[in-house]
Amino acid sequence: MTSKFLRLFLAAASFAISALAQTSSAATPSGAGTSPVAPAAAPAILGTKVAAINIEGAIFGSNEGRKEMEALQKKYEPKNAELKGQNDELEAMKKQLNDQGPKLNEEALADLKKRIESKQKSFDRSLQDFQEEINNQQQEIASKILQKMAPVIVKYSQENGFGMVIDTSKPWPQGPVLLAGEGVDITKPVVDAYNVASGVAAPAAPTSGATKPATPRPAGTTSTPKAPAPTTQPK
């Protein structure tokens, strides 16, 4: 997933830098009758410092990302409950096979095994479809937010002298970054700046006694935020 986020970020950052260049070009008056001037080159990143950002953590740790994920969680609660029921039924059948298998005649035993196999295949297909749908929804949320967050990252980097920003969404060896100390992590200030720019308020705290919905990890962590998933995993 990180490679997808990286491609999204590069595209969004390129768009942001291009927009900054066009704004700079438009602000510069040109003399009447002069030849058309070529578009201004994208502003160079002149900083020499290196920063690290958890792109996934920033997206899903922002107020907008948290709200989107809570809405996604709520949207799929019925499907999640349905899958849990299917899994519970499957586990009950497996327990029946384990407890009563030796006592069943050959025909009854074969029938039970066949029903378990059929239900397992059906459950596996449903679970895979569910996970793919969740991943697609999560990817759409990430893409939408990153398009708006990229200019904030570019602006923050320019203002603070960062010539390179690396993504630490995945720890090594899953990701390319071996080590990145907290002192170079800009995830939180970027999230804070984005929250202000977006104008999206933080999600409301759950009321007393209510079950708190699952939410992504806060910005600055290196773990990928979790999408809704069946409460009981198949054994």
**Total number of domains constituting the chain:** 1
Residue 174 belongs to some domain of the structure: yes
Confidence of residue 184 (pLDDT cuts 50, 70, 90): very high
Res 42: pLDDT: 52
Distance of CA 25 to the CA centre of its chain: 35
Residue 59 belongs to some domain of the structure: yes
Residue 19 belongs to some domain of the structure: yes
Please tell me the distance from the alpha carbon of residue 80 to that of residue 59, in angstroms, as a whole number.
24
Confidence of residue 197 (pLDDT cuts 50, 70, 90): very high
Mean pLDDT of 29-42: 49
Residue 209 belongs to some domain of the structure: no
Count the neighbouring beta carbons within 10 Å of the beta carbon of residue 121.
Answer: 10
Mean pLDDT of 188-193: 97
Above 90 in pLDDT, residue 178? Answer: no
Residue 167 belongs to some domain of the structure: yes
Residue 217 belongs to some domain of the structure: no
pLDDT tens, residue by residue, 208-229: 544 443 433 333 333 333 444 4
Assessment of whether the complete model's pTM goes beyond 0.75: no
Res 10: pLDDT: 58
Residue 28 belongs to some domain of the structure: no
Above 70 in pLDDT, residue 168? Answer: yes
Instruction: Determine the longest span between alpha carbons in the chain, in angstroms.
Output: 98
* Residue 109, domain extent: 2-23+43-198
Above 80 in pLDDT, residue 47? Answer: no
Residue 232 belongs to some domain of the structure: no
Res 219: pLDDT: 34
SS (H, E, C) the chain: CHHHHHHHHHHHHHHHHHHHHHHHHHCCCCCCCCCCCCCCCCCCCCCCEEEEECHHHHHHHCHHHHHHHHHHHHHCHHHHHHHHHHHHHHHHHHHHHHHHHHHCCHHHHHHHHHHHHHHHHHHHHHHHHHHHHHHHHHHHHHHHHHHHHHHHHHHHHHHCCEEEEEECCCCCCCCCCCCCCHHHECHHHHHHHHHHHHCCCCCCCCCCCCCCCCCCCCCCCCCCCCCCCCCCCCC
